[in-house]
Chain A
């Protein structure tokens, strides 16, 4: 097991290094760079063209006049020292920008994830045992709608309904009067009232997918011979269900649980923009649009890191949960 873990760590380092190259290239892919976008913005603002000398000076000041590979090595060297660099568009250290958005992001997405599993797993199980019942059909329809409806649309509709029927202020996490005041019971209640929309919107597609996966996996198991044997031997239906097929059917879900880690940070970018939530999703979006290299690169690396770690955790969990995998690995 220990060797297995160490080997995994080595792979992870290599993968992260490769990812950093890929991330860097992808961010650089669109024509131009941060400065050319910045110049375009300034020119729109000033209503006139910038002089060539001014442009050259700007490129130099922002360090984008060097060849790509040098920019890459400078970036990666800083990254290895734990320095995320300075955001070009904000002119502030990247770490601060991420830090001030991280707690809220993690809170919303963690709640959304809980929502996803709390909805997905039980409904999936129900749908599988009561296959082709009215309830199954109902949840199938709901599931497909959840999968197919664009997030931002769902967000807008929910926002409108909550405003129209519950009188809730639109967008954001707090009503305006609570924004600029210290924490209080009123403020907390206000936040709780605002939470359902983002949680439902961000969690729904995941829950819908989970229903389908859970239902499919469980159906596979339910028709296997060991289930029939157990049933024939008179094992109580409920005990049988929770002790055997569900434990097997839940494997694919556990193996993807680790992927929710990066999802916690960048889960609902579009939703977050629509809902005006101060989270990392919109930050990444803006950074990519403006080709703000160090900011976008840092967030992407951060996400990659979480993905790799998440997958690792998934593997460990699986090994713990499923003896078959454990044996396979130890040989």
Chain B
């Protein structure tokens, strides 16, 4: 049974090898010790541990490594070399501590194209994709030493997800294929089967994302949390009141942590580091003595003893501190603006760090056009495909790439990533060349006349064709880009009014925007070959989007062609990812979606950078980095080490 799931994984790896190896430095991980020994022919005879833990074992505070590790630990072949134990890593920013230790049952490869095992050792779908069986490592323990079993998953499912008070909306869609809530069946302590009413091959794609598992995690430490749960503790309400809450579920919600497990002291974890101290100015996380992974030499991971996370928010101060050599690791995602890249690069020697340049799955370089714009005249213009084509043709993508991203992003149309198995190259080029003449011809054809001074075009009602462009994120890159766009679109007679601060969420919800840089939900320009729910309906205005995602229960009814697409999308979720039918259908969907141009791509795969001290090793020097794969976790921070 196990063999099949591994074989499946391997075949997935092989078929994607061509694209993924080209731009990623992937750490090799073996799902179990047995796999490692079989595949490499090498043997791991004994386990060793950090000196910090050895002292505790000698003092009798901790059981020896053999007892702390699961029977089948996961084995990692470190990126560069077997690391050295010890040390404190000074990490910034605080919000990302979550990403460093966000281990799930499964994870994604660095390029986002594969599903890998992490805490779990394997999974298997039944032939009809109606049953998913998950295999846990026997003997995995929480950071307090309590065993981690299927019961912890059942607690999450039955007592949290299905609890009306904690989760009034019930489980998300992916748990209800065919309209029926999934059934969890405990086969034994380490085997869980989930039964669905309809084929659900898309669920694994979600489970493989540390944030995408719908409701944050997929398991909770039952032994620790049950004292706050009314089902296990009839006095839970009194306990909650003592702690300052009104109801038991508020207290449980706090202690469970949801998205913020890195801010809960005392909460047992399966992650590499356990948070031990939180103050307003810093956080400390210490190694988890029960971590379930070893390196190829039998050393229990992580290598680094302590994370010291400084609570600094201001990018200027962070850069200054980095140059002063006070920080070991800065995760720059959506924090360090690209315009500071030259400064950071220049000061590499002074600060003793290296700038690690990665590519994001998305970029701020896109425009979404709201088909539900309140102004009826504008709305009519927007809905004319020729107008959207003209807008796209009149963008000088190279110029924007040079000015905003130092020429490091990839100019092109908004489309799935090349790593996708169903990728078509033509998508990236669709109406993406710079051709002002053709754009003007399209607008002339539409009958949008110029004003008397030939400065701007006029709308059918005689007013100047003026459009408001707002920022989805309010980033500096967007602001520069908006100014450039205003100048570029002036050439086709479109008067752009830009608003550079972040667009207020309510405006988005009510469809009050006209144009927006970046789609309302930021993960644009993404599709992974995994069968994840993709941005099929983004940038279609909230009204249509809601209608399509809620099966017509809310929102505004879209044109029939989109209802057709919705059917294809629903169908694609029932097909096994990577199968021929699946690929054909995906191509059909994206052929339609890309050519609609409701989202116009400018540049994709935006560059971003992290800083790491020269002595911090086993950190990939290149590759993809972003939400699509769960940020730092994909680099396997447990293998980072401080080289003496």
Contacts and interface: CB of A to CB of B under 8 A. Distances in A.
Interface of A: 30-32, 36-37, 39-40, 42-49, 51-58, 60-61, 86, 91-93, 100-101, 156, 159-160, 163, 169-174, 176, 179-180, 273-279, 282
Contact of B549 (A30, A49, A273): A49
Contact of A46 (B167, B211, B317): B211
Interface of B: 90, 167-170, 172-173, 211-212, 214, 244-245, 250, 253-254, 259-260, 277, 279-282, 284, 308, 310-314, 316-317, 320-321, 324, 326, 504-509, 520-523, 526, 533, 535, 537-538, 545-546, 549-550, 553-554, 627-628
B526 A163 contact: no
Instruction: Among A37, A54, A277, find the residue whose CB has the most chain B CB atoms closer than 10 A.
Output: A54
A274 B280 contact: no
Contacts of B521: 43-44, 47-49
A273 B313 contact: yes
Contacts of A58: 169
Contacts of B313: 273, 276, 282
Nearest to A163: B324
Given A57-B167, A180-B308, A276 B317 contact: yes
Nearest to A167: B324
A169 B254 contact: no
A14 B277 CA distance: 42
A42 B213 CA distance: 12
Given A49-B521, A57-B169, A37 B505 contact: yes
A52 B324 CA distance: 48
B533 A48 contact: yes
B279 A278 contact: yes
A163 B320 contact: yes
B550 A51 contact: yes
A52 B554 contact: yes
B627 A60 contact: no
Contacts of A163: 320, 324
A278 B168 contact: no
9 contacts: A31-B506, A40-B508, A86-B245, A91-B250, A100-B279, A156-B316, A156-B320, A276-B314, A277-B281
Contacts of A42: 259
A161 to B, nearest CB: 11
B505 A40 contact: yes
A47 B279 contact: no
Main secondary structure of the interface of B (DSSP, over half): loop
A171 B546 contact: no
Given A172-B312, A179-B281, A52 B168 contact: no
Instruction: Among A36, A43, A46, find the residue whose CB has the most chain B CB atoms closer than 10 A.
Output: A46
A199 to B, nearest CB: 17
Contact of A86 (B244, B277, B508, B509): B244
A100 B505 contact: no
Contacts of A274: 314, 316-317
Given A274-B314, A276-B313, A47 B526 contact: yes
Contacts of A54: 169, 172
A169 B279 CA distance: 19
B549 A51 contact: yes
Nearest to A276: B312
B343 to A, nearest CB: 13
B627 A57 contact: no
Contacts of A100: 279-280
A32 B324 CA distance: 41
Given A32-B504, A171-B320, 5 more contacts: A31-B507, A52-B553, A172-B281, A179-B282, A276-B281
A49 B321 CA distance: 37
A44 B245 CA distance: 29
Nearest to A56: B169
Given A47-B521, A170-B324, A30 B504 contact: yes
B347 to A, nearest CB: 13
Contacts of A169: 321, 324, 326
Given A36-B505, A57-B169, A91-B254, A170 B326 contact: yes
A-B pairs, top 6 by smallest CB distance, nearest first, are A278-B280, A47-B523, A31-B506, A57-B168, A57-B169, A278-B281
B168 A176 contact: no
Contacts of A282: 313
Given A30-B504, A278-B281, A171 B321 contact: yes
B317 A92 contact: no
Contact of A47 (B250, B311, B324, B627): B627
A45 B99 CA distance: 11
Contact of B320 (A46, A60, A159): A159
Contacts of B520: 43
A170 B324 CA distance: 8
B311 A49 contact: no
A103 to B, nearest CB: 11
A51 B284 CA distance: 36
B225 to A, nearest CB: 15
A160 B504 CA distance: 35
A38 to B, nearest CB: 10
Nearest to B537: A49
A194 to B, nearest CB: 11
Contacts of B173: 51
Nearest to A168: B324
A10 to B, nearest CB: 32
A170 B321 contact: yes
B311 A276 contact: yes
Contacts of A275: 317
Nearest to A54: B169
Contacts of B533: 48
A46 B538 CA distance: 14
A49 B534 CA distance: 10
Contact of B168 (A37, A40, A61, A276): A61
Contacts of B308: 176, 179-180
Contacts of B506: 31-32, 36
B615 to A, nearest CB: 16
A136 B281 CA distance: 41
Contact of B545 (A40, A45, A49, A56): A49
A52 B310 contact: no
A139 B545 CA distance: 62
B561 to A, nearest CB: 20
B85 to A, nearest CB: 20
Nearest to B472: A44
B505 A180 contact: no
B157 to A, nearest CB: 17
A94 to B, nearest CB: 9
B161 to A, nearest CB: 12
Given A44-B521, A46-B212, A47-B522, A278 B311 contact: yes
A179 B3 CA distance: 50
A193 B605 CA distance: 44
Contacts of A37: 505
A171 B317 contact: yes
B172 A45 contact: no
Contacts of A172: 281, 310, 312
Contacts of B314: 171, 273-274, 276
Contacts of B550: 51-52
A32 B168 contact: no
Contacts of B627: 44-45, 47
Given A37-B505, A179-B282, A91 B253 contact: yes
Contacts of B90: 176
Contacts of B169: 51, 53-58
Nearest to A96: B244
A169 to B, nearest CB: 6
A305 B280 CA distance: 24
A61 B254 CA distance: 13
